[in-house]
């Protein structure tokens, strides 16, 4: 049986997104629930995939099937495609399974040629309108299908306006447009060597192929990469009869969300333009009217639209993003889809919908993308701060940002990769600017509304964005913008507040975010659903308190090296490192002991009742010594200038010691438990400090729960030796202090050898904490410091790796070792607690993997704890129960 490649809208339904694309499936669904949808057909994603499978050829049978279904469409509408009297015109839109706004090319008014154009003029009695449609069609079709650059047509149009001495397209009359049309056709012949195709069916088939082709254009590929959409889904093609929002003042077009996509407030939110075609709203070139104004202008239409919105929201059980057109006083629905929203809106909508009885708590938890919470957890401008607002635009995406001004996406990317914070400033953005938006802290545009490209993309990424800030005048050539007399040059520091639309000179003080009630409610629900514990990586009592506030159930990683870096301690630490004998080293360590004890006292107290996994000293000792190159320069200078001989000698001695500790590959050097293998007295001091602090707290009635974590284990013998030492010190402290406490000693698993011999190691460990940062470095042989600065971007751009493995856990490589280590460890020691404490512990897909392989906990930075809680609940909660989601 041959594949069915083409569906009438009536033949589809909402759950056929895989085959018909999201747009096609929703058009079918709306058609079937009786909404006013212009009739059409959908070419399936399978056809697209077969197109690529057959080497970019129309799959066998597709052309025939399109023609057959077009006959049915013509019968339904009562117009014929290519009819010179009353021609059927079509819109051609792509539509993949997942919404990819602005990413794919659209063609309107397909079916126009010299003959049908004249027929349309007669049928509508509106010559200028039809000629303008024809002009737009040639330009659009030529751009998308024939690859003729947009500006070639714009020049022809501009030439006509110049000739007539006018400024706006609308000032051109029908006669002018006929001249423009002739010029356009010449452009096509000049650029392509062929006449513009006049056969409507040829136009249609070429357009279908062009949509297929656009699946793999640069913008689409980047968008998919950014949104982790698989490359092999393909796109459907929606062929729909045209309705016109630009036939006069009883026409219009608009987009609206059923709830506010920024705040989640339950109020219709959108924009429309009278006498305009759909692309005018989305492109952000004309600034549209808020949807509420439609109530005044067209009250009946408005009411009909409100009713339809309510119907759709109840039908889909989700906030909808709807496109509509009004043609001569009649409302048509062109599209509905689940509306993109900010994280704050997603939370409010999900929690409200539970209150409204539409969805349950588990569904609500699944409705909020865990990664998106990040934007709510970022800082905002301190309300008490005084600052100089130089302009105000639309509050297009919440959050505050600060950085150097850049005017170009490439420059933004370049500086961003170099670690600079930048703000991207553009008149408007296009899909070609995506890489600059990714690299920037925030975006400021001088044109476009809340649904403009910049606004939609920035909200999706959780980046602050201010749009349509018309008072700023950008001069790309001079690399500056002006607001009245104020001049801001490239490189100047500026701030924006995407929640208020403010544009601010210089840097402003920012404050930590507050969690909304809905946010707190949603997070509380996660605890009912998830089965993994969420802990935090925190090294100070302050961080510990913050983590607790965000709901952390303990500390999964308390690093002790930062405690060694404090100004007053560094000299003692250096003394310890440079000791030539064990006695000298122990003397220096004895001075550090009370300091470490007070560190642990503070953290254990802040986390009262929760476990605190304390990692013993990890970095190589030379990190605590002066920089070798600086010393070298100082010594050379002293020599050249015949400087103080005594100082020279001291510096030379220090250099000798620094050189002695120098390592070629410090990542793989004398660090972690290796330090304690050589100098057991270092860990002995730390362990004593931990347990003395514990004893002190227990005496004060505080429930302190330390667990000792040994880093960088490769062999069970290391752990055996260091565990024995720790346990015996703990027992000594118990005896000395006359208190008892539980003794737990576990290990980081962060080297491949530890994973493959985890069974041996587990029999001497109370817990495993996978350090997936180091494990990624050694499993891939990637030094993070070197890879991210040098070759990581090549690996991502050339599609060798899907994601930066330091951000998203490499499941098939590193993940396999984590699973192996977990399984082997549990086999040998069924009581073993297992978790991860690398940065992946706060990344949603990685958390999903942790749930899949059955870890007990994840640990992440305090600010990512809410994300981790939500992601853990989602991972435990499984699929959405609402099939149309």
Window 739-758: residues binding a copy of itself (CB under 8 A): 750-753, 756-757
Residue 629 makes contact with a copy of itself by CB under 8 A: yes
Residue from 173, 432, 637, 736 touching a copy of itself (CB under 8 A): that is 637
Nearest to 773 by CA among 453, 557, 570: 557
Window 758-787: residues binding a copy of itself (CB under 8 A): 760, 774, 777-783, 785-787
User: In the complex with a copy of itself, which residue's Cβ is closer, 400 or 758?
Assistant: 758
How near is the Cβ of 557 to a copy of itself at its closest, in Å?
18
Report CA-CA distances (Å) from 662 to 336, 581, 650, 711: 63, 20, 18, 21
Pairing label, strands 235-241, 252-257? unpaired
Q: In what order do the strands lie in the sheet with 252-257?
A: 289-290, 269-274, 252-257, 320-327, 330-338
Q: In what order do the strands lie in the sheet with 6-8?
A: 6-8, 40-43, 235-241, 90-96, 107-110
Scanning 188-196, 390-398, 522-530, 806-814 for contacts with a copy of itself by CB under 8 A, the matching segment is: 806-814
Residue from 29, 810, 839, 843 touching a copy of itself (CB under 8 A): that is 810
How near is the Cβ of 860 to a copy of itself at its closest, in Å?
23
End-to-end CA separation in angstroms for the chain: 32
Scanning 186-194, 202-210, 711-719, 852-860 for contacts with a copy of itself by CB under 8 A, the matching segment is: 711-719
**E strands, 521-606, in order:** 533-537, 555-559
Scanning 49-57, 283-291, 406-414, 710-718 for contacts with a copy of itself by CB under 8 A, the matching segment is: 710-718
User: In the complex with a copy of itself, which residue's Cβ is closer, 591 or 753?
Assistant: 753
- Say how many C-beta atoms besides its own lie within 10 A of residue 300's C-beta: 9
Distance CA 322, CA 294 (A): 15
Q: Give the 3-state secondary structure of residue 232.
A: coil
Is 117 a catalytic site residue? no
Q: What are phi and psi of 507, to 5 degrees?
A: -95, 140
How near is the Cβ of 109 to a copy of itself at its closest, in Å?
43
User: In the complex with a copy of itself, which residue's Cβ is closer, 430 or 783?
Assistant: 783
Residue 712 makes contact with a copy of itself by CB under 8 A: yes
Q: Which of 558, 837, 850, 860 is catalytic?
A: 837
- Say how many C-beta atoms besides its own lie within 10 A of residue 78's C-beta: 8
Residue 790 makes contact with a copy of itself by CB under 8 A: yes
Residue 714 makes contact with a copy of itself by CB under 8 A: yes
How near is the Cβ of 795 to a copy of itself at its closest, in Å?
6
- Say how many C-beta atoms besides its own lie within 10 A of residue 328's C-beta: 12
Residue from 18, 290, 813, 848 touching a copy of itself (CB under 8 A): that is 813
Is 453 a catalytic site residue? yes
C-alpha dihedral (846, 847, 852, 856), degrees to nearest 10:
130
User: In the complex with a copy of itself, which residue's Cβ is closer, 328 or 656?
Assistant: 656
What single string gives the DSSP state of each residue in 109-169? EET--HHHHHHHHHHHS-HHHHHHHHHHHHHHHHHHTS---HHHHHHHHHHHHHHHT-SSG
How near is the Cβ of 577 to a copy of itself at its closest, in Å?
13
User: In the complex with a copy of itself, which residue's Cβ is closer, 421 or 816?
Assistant: 816
Q: What is the CA radius of gyration of the chain?
A: 32
Window 817-836: residues binding a copy of itself (CB under 8 A): 817
Q: How many residues bind a copy of itself (CB under 8 A)?
A: 57
Q: What are phi and psi of 570, to 5 degrees?
A: -50, -45
Q: Within the chain, what is the greatest distance between any pair of CA atoms?
A: 104
Window 650-679: residues binding a copy of itself (CB under 8 A): 663-670, 674, 677-678
Q: Is 825 left (phi over 0), alpha (psi -120 to 50) or beta?
A: alpha
Residue from 79, 392, 715, 885 touching a copy of itself (CB under 8 A): that is 715
Scanning 332-340, 606-614, 811-819, 874-882 for contacts with a copy of itself by CB under 8 A, the matching segment is: 811-819
Distance CA 776, CA 782 (A): 7
Q: Which of 453, 622, 744, 764 is catalytic?
A: 453
Binding site for a copy of itself (CB under 8 A): 628-629, 632-633, 636-637, 640-641, 663-670, 674, 677-678, 712, 714-715, 717-718, 721, 750-753, 756-757, 760, 774, 777-783, 785-787, 790-791, 794-795, 798-801, 810, 812-814, 816-817
Positions marked catalytic: 453, 837
């Amino acid at each position: 049986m041959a594949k069915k490649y083409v569906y009438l809208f009536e033949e589809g339904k909402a759950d056929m997104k895989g085959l018909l694309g999201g747009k096609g499936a929703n058009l079918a669904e709306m058609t079937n629930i009786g909404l006013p949808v212009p009739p059409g057909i959908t070419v399936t994603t399978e056809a697209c995939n077969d197109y690529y499978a057959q080497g970019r050829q129309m799959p066998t049978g597709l052309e025939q099937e399109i023609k057959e279904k077009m006959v049915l469409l013509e019968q339904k509408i009562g117009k014929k495609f290519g009819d010179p009297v009353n021609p059927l015109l079509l819109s051609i839109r792509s539509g993949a399974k997942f919404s990819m706004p602005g990413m794919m090319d659209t063609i309107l008014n397909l079916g126009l040629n010299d003959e049908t154009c004249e027929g349309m003029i007669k049928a509508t009695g509106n010559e200028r309108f039809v000629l303008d449609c024809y002009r737009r069609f040639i330009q659009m079709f030529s751009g998308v299908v024939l690859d003729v650059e947009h500006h070639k047509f714009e020049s022809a149009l501009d030439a006509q306006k110049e000739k007539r001495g006018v400024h706006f397209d609308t000032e051109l009359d029908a006669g002018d447009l006929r001249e423009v049309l002739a010029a356009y056709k010449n452009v096509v012949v000049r650029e392509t060597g062929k006449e513009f195709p006049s056969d409507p069916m040829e136009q249609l088939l070429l357009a279908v192929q062009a949509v297929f082709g656009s699946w793999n254009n640069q913008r689409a590929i980047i968008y998919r990469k950014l949104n982790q959409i698989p490359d092999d889904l393909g796109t459907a093609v929606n062929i729909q009869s045209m309705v016109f929002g630009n036939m006069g003042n009883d026409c219009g077009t608009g987009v609206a969300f059923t709830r506010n996509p920024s705040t989640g407030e339950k109020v219709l939110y959108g924009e429309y333009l009278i006498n305009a075609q759909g692309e005018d709203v989305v492109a952000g070139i004309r600034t549209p009217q808020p949807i509420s104004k439609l109530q005044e202008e067209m009250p009946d239409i408005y009411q009909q639209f409100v009713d339809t919105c309510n119907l759709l929201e109840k039908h889909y059980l989700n906030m909808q993003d709807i496109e509509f057109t009004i043609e001569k006083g009649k409302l048509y629905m062109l599209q509905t889809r689940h509306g993109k929203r900010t994280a704050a809106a997603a939370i409010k909508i999900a929690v409200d919908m539970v209150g409204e009885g539409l969805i349950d708590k588990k569904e609500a938890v699944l409705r909020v993308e865990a990664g998106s919470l990040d934007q709510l957890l970022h800082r905002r401008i301190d309300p008490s701060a005084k600052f100089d607002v130089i302009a105000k635009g639309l509050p297009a995406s919440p959050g505050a940002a600060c950085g150097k001004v850049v005017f170009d996406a490439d420059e933004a990317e370049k500086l961003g990769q170099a670690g600079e914070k930048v703000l991207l400033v553009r008149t408007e953005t296009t899909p070609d600017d995506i890489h600059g938006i990714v690299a920037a802290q925030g975006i400021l545009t001088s044109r476009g509304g809340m649904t403009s490209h910049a606004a939609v993309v920035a909200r999706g990424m959780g980046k602050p964005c201010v749009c349509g800030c018309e008072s700023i005048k950008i001069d790309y050539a001079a690399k500056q913008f002006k607001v009245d007399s104020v001049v801001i040059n490239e490189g100047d520091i500026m701030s924006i507040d995407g929640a208020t639309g403010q544009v601010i000179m210089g840097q402003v003080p920012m404050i930590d975010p507050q969690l909304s009630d809905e946010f707190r409610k949603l997070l509380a629900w996660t605890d009912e659903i998830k089965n993994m514990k969420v802990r935090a990586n925190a090294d100070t009592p302050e961080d510990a308190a913050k983590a607790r506030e965000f709901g952390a159930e303990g500390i999964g990683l308390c690093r002790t090296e930062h405690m060694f870096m404090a100004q007053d301690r560094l000299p003692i630490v250096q003394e310890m490192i440079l000791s030539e004998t064990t006695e000298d080293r122990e003397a220096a360590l004895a001075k550090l002991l009370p300091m470490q004890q007070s560190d642990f006292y503070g953290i254990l107290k802040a986390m009262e009742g929760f476990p605190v996994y304390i990692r013993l000293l990890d970095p190589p000792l030379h990190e605590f010594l002066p920089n070798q190159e600086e010393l070298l320069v100082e010594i050379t200078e002293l020599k050249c200038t015949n400087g103080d001989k005594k100082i020279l000698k001291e510096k030379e001695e220090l250099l000798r010691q620094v050189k002695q500790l120098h390592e070629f590959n410090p990542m793989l050097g004398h660090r972690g438990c290796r330090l304690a293998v050589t100098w057991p007295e270092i860990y002995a001091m730390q362990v004593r400090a931990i347990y003395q602090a514990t004893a002190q707290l227990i005496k004060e009635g505080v429930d302190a729960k330390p667990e000792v974590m040994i880093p960088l284990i490769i062999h069970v013998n290391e752990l055996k030796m260091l565990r024995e030492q720790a346990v015996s010190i703990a027992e000594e402290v118990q005896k000395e202090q006359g208190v008892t406490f539980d003794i737990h000693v576990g290990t980081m698993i962060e080297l491949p050898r530890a994973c493959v011999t985890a069974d041996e190691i587990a029999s001497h460990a109370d817990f495993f904490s996978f350090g997936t940062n180091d494990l990624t470095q050694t499993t891939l042989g990637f030094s993070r410091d070197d890879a991210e600065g040098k070759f990581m971007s090549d690996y991502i751009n050339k599609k060798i790796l899907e994601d930066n493995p330091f951000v998203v856990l490499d499941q098939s490589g590193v993940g396999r070792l984590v699973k192996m280590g977990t399984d082997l460890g549990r086999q040998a020691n069924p009581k073993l607690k297992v978790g991860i404490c690398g940065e992946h512990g706060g990344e949603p897909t990685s958390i999903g993997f942790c749930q899949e392989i059955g870890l007990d906990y994840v640990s992440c930075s305090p600010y990512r704890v809410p994300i981790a809680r939500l992601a853990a609940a989602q991972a435990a909660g499984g699929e959405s129960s609402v099939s149309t989601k």
